[in-house]
Structure 1
Amino acid sequence: MAEREQKRKTAPARETDEVVDAPATSETGEKLKADIDDLLDEIDEVLESNAEDFVRSYVQKGGQ
């Protein structure tokens, strides 16, 4: 049997990037969270007043 030599290439050294501390939450994230909370509150109010009408008016997309 013939012997084969395997040559392995070494990977180039990778540079590590410094991790920059980002603010915990941005203003945009806070505004989006507030908007979502308002929408969920509105849905809760509709469901409390008449859940049956809400379900009947809901139309699923995609033919399901």
Structure 2
Amino acid sequence: MAERIRKATSGSPSSVQKTEEAEDVKPNSDLVSELDDLLNEIDEVLESNAEEFVKNYVQKGGQ
């Protein structure tokens, strides 16, 4: 029974995974640029009012 499992899983998943990784290269560059834009926006907010931003996330009693 263990041999049957080994035969079924050997080789195939790695080749499928490599193909998927190659196809994901272009969308990842779009995702990276969107993430950079989001992080830049967060930086701008923190530069302008960091103290207020942090106070909104401080845990209050009973939360």
How would you bin the TM-score normalised by the shorter chain? 0.5 to 0.7
Q: Percent identity?
A: 44
Q: Larger % of helix: which?
A: 2
TM-fit CA distance, 1:46: 1.1
For the aligned residues, what is the CA RMSD?
Answer: 3.2
Aligned length: 54
User: Which stretches in structure 1 are left out of the alignment for 5+ residues?
Assistant: 1-8
Deviation >4 Å, runs of 4+: none
**Whole-Å separation in 1 of the counterparts to 2:58 and 2:32:** 26
**TM-score, normalization by structure 1:** 0.52
User: Which stretches in structure 2 are left out of the alignment for 5+ residues?
Assistant: none
2:3 to 2, 8, 11: 11
Q: Using a 3 Å threshold, how does the CA distance of structure 1 residues 10 and 34 change in structure 2: closer, same or farther?
A: closer
